[in-house]
């Protein structure tokens, strides 16, 4: 029956339109998350943040620090971009922020911005290599 078929097709199309563009994004984000979960299992890794153009997810061991870490991560990325623009540095490959209690590594993978929080004694080069 034409009306029913039409309706079915319409629903399918809607789902396609809704989901199709996001499949790639979620796949890349999920594969990144797999790598990040592997990284997180290392000693001294405190957590990570993935921030995409439309979504972000945070996995930090201490939930009370989530806000501060998220704000710091966003600010560090912004500062990196400002400095790279001001001083003609080219594309920023990564940013390493060394705090007095811990350090954070920020890098961009496509549209995803990754931030990994770790103890000061962690080899950030190894983490960077694994994520790149």
Partner 1 sequence: MNDEIYNAALRNALSGIKDAMIDLNWSFILTNDGTVITSDENAVDPAITKAASSFQTLAQKAASIGGLDNMLIAGDKCNIYVSSVNDMYLVAGLTKNADLVYFRTVTGAVLPTVLKVLDSVTSSLSQTSTPTPFKPTTNIPFSQSKITESSLFKPTVPETTPDEEDTLEEEEETSPNEEANEEVEEAQELQVPTSSSTQRTETTKLPEELPSQQLIVDRFSGLMVKADTIQLDVEILKRWSEELDVESIGEVDIETFSGKTVRCKTKTINDPKLEGRGLIRIPEKTCQSLDVRRGELVRVRPVLPEGD
By C-alpha distance, which of 52, 39, 56 is closest to 129?
39
Pairing of strands 45-51, 56-60: antiparallel
Helix (H) or strand (E) holding 45: strand 45-51
Q: Pick the binder of partner 1 from 2, 20, 41, 90 (CB under 8 A).
A: 90
Given the rule CB under 8 A, which of 4-12, 13-21, 28-36, 95-103 is the region that contacts partner 1? 95-103
Q: Does 110 bind partner 1 (CB under 8 A)?
A: no
Given the rule CB under 8 A, which of 3-11, 12-20, 31-39, 47-55 is the region that contacts partner 1? 47-55
Give the three-state DSSP class for 60: strand
The Cα 40–Cα 52 span in angstroms is 19
Q: Does 25 bind partner 1 (CB under 8 A)?
A: no
Q: Does 42 bind partner 1 (CB under 8 A)?
A: no
Q: Pick the binder of partner 1 from 7, 9, 27, 53 (CB under 8 A).
A: 53
CA 63-69-72 angle, to 5 degrees, is: 165
By C-alpha distance, which of 105, 106, 110 is closest to 53?
110
Q: Does 121 bind partner 1 (CB under 8 A)?
A: no
Q: Does 102 bind partner 1 (CB under 8 A)?
A: yes
Q: Does 75 bind partner 1 (CB under 8 A)?
A: yes
**Site of interaction with partner 1 (CB under 8 A):** 51-58, 63-72, 74-76, 78-80, 82-84, 86-104, 117
């Amino acid at each position: 029956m034409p009306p029913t078929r039409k309706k079915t097709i319409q629903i399918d199309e809607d789902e396609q339109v809704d989901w199709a563009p996001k499949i790639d994004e979620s796949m890349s984000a999920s594969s990144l998350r797999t790598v990040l979960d592997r990284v997180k299992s290392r000693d001294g890794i405190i957590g990570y943040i993935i921030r995409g153009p439309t979504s972000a997810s945070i996995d930090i061991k201490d939930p009370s620090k989530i806000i501060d870490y998220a704000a710091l991560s966003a600010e560090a990325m912004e500062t990196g971009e400002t400095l790279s623009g001001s001083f003609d540095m080219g594309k920023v490959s990564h940013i390493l922020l060394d705090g007095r209690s811990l350090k954070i590594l920020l890098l961009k993978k496509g549209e995803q911005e990754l931030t990994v929080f770790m103890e000061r004694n962690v080899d950030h080069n190894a983490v960077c290599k694994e994520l790149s």
